[in-house]
Structure 1
């Protein structure tokens, strides 16, 4: 068999508890992003654009939601012409683990070595399915091969005040890793692991088999595998990435990433690097009869827009009713916003319904209000992330006395 240079394994089983209620019935990697994409579209598109056409997708929590989105992988494999065949294979925990669950990121790859080995790759790229970035993996692969490293970790400099949220690597002048700290209280470096690992296949198999036999291990790449490689004196390198990258594991970070999309810090439309998706186009069309042109907004062509908006994103198939105002918010695909609704600093989940006259969020609030997928919010319920003291300005701005009558019995945090 001809040995391929590299294949990818994409970890897509995350539950995403910090994104609740958006993940109540969705795996974290298929939470919508932008007007018509899902998080997992980013690493999948990166692989195909980088020439990596053999991809295993490991699923667990709400696996069916990932499987439905990816299908047979044709939306990605057929979008980029090439003479090479490709494969996007779904690898659910229910088929590969005796317990029906992967116990950690390393355990997930260990349990699916049976998928990797027959394909005989020289190197295996391990990716997270829930980060927002557009990266060409080829320079990283070239640097990894050139260095002769057992493994290479992609790293990104983060603000020092955020460094304790990440796995932090200390490196020498040649970007050889000399120390790894998992979420240190007092970090000595701001080089954060991006959760992207590139292994020589023989070394990956060796270290995973050792880890699987260690009862004290949590079977996690960051907590166990990388420290073990350093302990054993293996050649471990870091690959610095300079482009946009964001871990959107919390409601706040997801909202912030969308605001960066509006600001232009993140750009999705690149002719040389298409962002591909299995999202089916919605049937709704933009209605301009009563349309107030949004300022600094991203509005999908399949959004029915009759209200006004500023610094917001309206997803495919969403509807914004007459007299409604949406400000600094994310309206996910399929959400329906009624008439005379006020939405500030909020994320409205897929297919949610906001009835006429409802109020969501607080202008310039410190926290983000969230309405879950498929949830229905009536005018008798005011959804806010803060205290009752913030209501006065909001209610007067909405101009609806009847909402004030119901405020005392209609809180959602």
Structure 2
């Protein structure tokens, strides 16, 4: 493909509450065996983009470990590859990334040293499948300066996103970033296509003027000066940047049609693979409509839940409508309902956790690993 990829994965969102205290949003586990960033990386690989840069910053240790080898997404090649860029101190700059445009500005040499004519910019905290080739073809056909991938939201708070309005030719006429009141249910999906040289020019101008945000300082500021078009998608798309949306996205994977779309329909989603034994169901275990990952041992009852890798469920446990993250030990007679249990936790026997309203995040002191 005639494009390079940039994945913005450095941000933090306080709406994730305790879940973002130990990892970046792009490293959040999704659908039992995946990380959020796997979907953007797989889309890049499946679209034959051979050179991808991931810009990380906040709590990046877990994310950097996940990206330690590029072979899982087929980027281990002589031409191109997977690059991870974090903020670095230079004689001219000692700042962290001050925004999305500043993150690109601090790594502008990556763009200048590339030869592909186009750039695909994507966010690392969205769950979706998309062929970026189709967006690029649309971008060229419209003779656009920037193309913004957008989608319609129904029953979800559109004020969390950038809301936009397009004319009959799909040119964006209005763009309002995280408005107090949403005037449209069409939102930006956080995916952009732009010519590489024009991106360099716009980012350099932002840097000279002390502007740091890609949406506010490029998309909104230039919407009447540049030809900015919207490319609407109607397939599954979800952003996991709040506890509620993260919970709902994982629950969506309990629906057969969603699992079929992501995991059985070509192209697939790739991720880093751990060498773990298959899940083990001991006598007395009962599992209904749940995702159980490798390395789990089930002794109790699991219903409408997602269990990530290496979860141990003790005797007479009841887990309903919950998400149990990696490497959690659930003691005997534990009852968990409408909760998200943080990874590497130990839930003592005879514990009871439930949320009457909303979703409860459960974090227990981990006694198994204390010296």
Question: Is TM-score (shorter-chain normalized) higher than 0.5?
Answer: yes
Higher deviation after alignment, 89-98 or 299-308: 89-98
CA contact 1:36–1:333 (8 Å) conserved in 2: no
Query: In structure 2, do the counterparts of structure 1 residues 16 and 25 end up closer, same or farther at CA, with 3 Å as the change threshold?
Result: same
Aligned-pair distance for 1:94?
A: 2.4
Indicate which of 251, 270, 273 corresponds to 2:267.
Answer: 273
Counterpart Cα distance in 1 of 2:155 and 2:290: 31
Higher deviation after alignment, 92-101 or 55-64: 92-101
| Matching residue of 2:49 | 52
Q: Does 1:242 align with 2:239?
A: no
CA contact 1:355–1:377 (8 Å) conserved in 2: no
Counterpart Cα distance in 1 of 2:156 and 2:333: 40
SS at match of 1:93: coil
SS at match of 1:278: coil
| Matching residue of 1:6 | 3
SS at match of 2:19: coil
Query: In structure 2, do the counterparts of structure 1 residues 58 and 376 end up closer, same or farther at CA, with 3 Å as the change threshold?
Result: same
Deviation string for 1:273-325 (max 9, x for gaps)?
A: 22111242435x53333243311111124211111011001111111111000
| Matching residue of 1:384 | none
Counterpart Cα distance in 1 of 2:134 and 2:120: 13
Within 5 A, what are the aligned runs for 1:106-121? 106-121=101-116
Counterpart Cα distance in 2 of 1:298 and 1:246: 19
Query: In structure 2, do the counterparts of structure 1 residues 94 and 375 end up closer, same or farther at CA, with 3 Å as the change threshold?
Result: farther
Indicate which of 194, 203, 207 corresponds to 1:208.
Answer: 203
| Matching residue of 1:360 | 353
Aligned-pair distance for 1:271?
A: 4.7
Within 5 A, what are the aligned runs for 1:128-277? 128-159=123-154, 162-215=157-210, 217=211, 219-231=212-224, 233-264=225-256, 266-267=258-259, 268-277=262-271
Query: In structure 2, do the counterparts of structure 1 residues 270 and 322 end up closer, same or farther at CA, with 3 Å as the change threshold?
Result: same
SS at match of 2:20: coil
CA contact 2:163–2:182 (8 Å) conserved in 1: yes
Indicate which of 286, 305, 311 corresponds to 2:298.
Answer: 305
Counterpart Cα distance in 2 of 1:33 and 1:317: 15
Aligned-pair distance for 1:100?
A: 4.2
CA contact 2:318–2:334 (8 Å) conserved in 1: yes
Aligned-pair distance for 1:245?
A: 0.7
Consecutive unaligned residues in structure 2, runs of 5 or more? none
Aligned-pair distance for 1:58?
A: 0.5
Aligned-pair distance for 1:209?
A: 1.2
Counterpart Cα distance in 2 of 1:259 and 1:346: 12
CA contact 2:144–2:229 (8 Å) conserved in 1: yes
CA contact 1:290–1:307 (8 Å) conserved in 2: no
| Matching residue of 1:74 | 71
| Matching residue of 2:333 | 340
Counterpart Cα distance in 1 of 2:149 and 2:213: 17
SS at match of 2:55: strand
Within 5 A, what are the aligned runs for 1:36-51? 36-51=33-48
Indicate which of 284, 292, 295 corresponds to 2:288.
Answer: 295
Query: In structure 2, do the counterparts of structure 1 residues 160 and 339 end up closer, same or farther at CA, with 3 Å as the change threshold?
Result: closer
CA contact 2:75–2:81 (8 Å) conserved in 1: no
Counterpart Cα distance in 1 of 2:119 and 2:177: 23
SS at match of 2:21: coil
Higher deviation after alignment, 128-137 or 178-187: 178-187
SS at match of 2:223: helix
Counterpart Cα distance in 2 of 1:16 and 1:349: 17
CA contact 2:279–2:296 (8 Å) conserved in 1: yes
Consecutive unaligned residues in structure 1, runs of 5 or more? 379-413
Counterpart Cα distance in 1 of 2:183 and 2:286: 48
| Matching residue of 1:404 | none
| Matching residue of 1:105 | 100
Indicate which of 88, 93, 106 corresponds to 2:87.
Answer: 93
Larger Rg computed on CA atoms: 1
Query: In structure 2, do the counterparts of structure 1 residues 229 and 84 end up closer, same or farther at CA, with 3 Å as the change threshold?
Result: farther
Q: Does 1:370 align with 2:361?
A: yes
Counterpart Cα distance in 1 of 2:79 and 2:312: 40
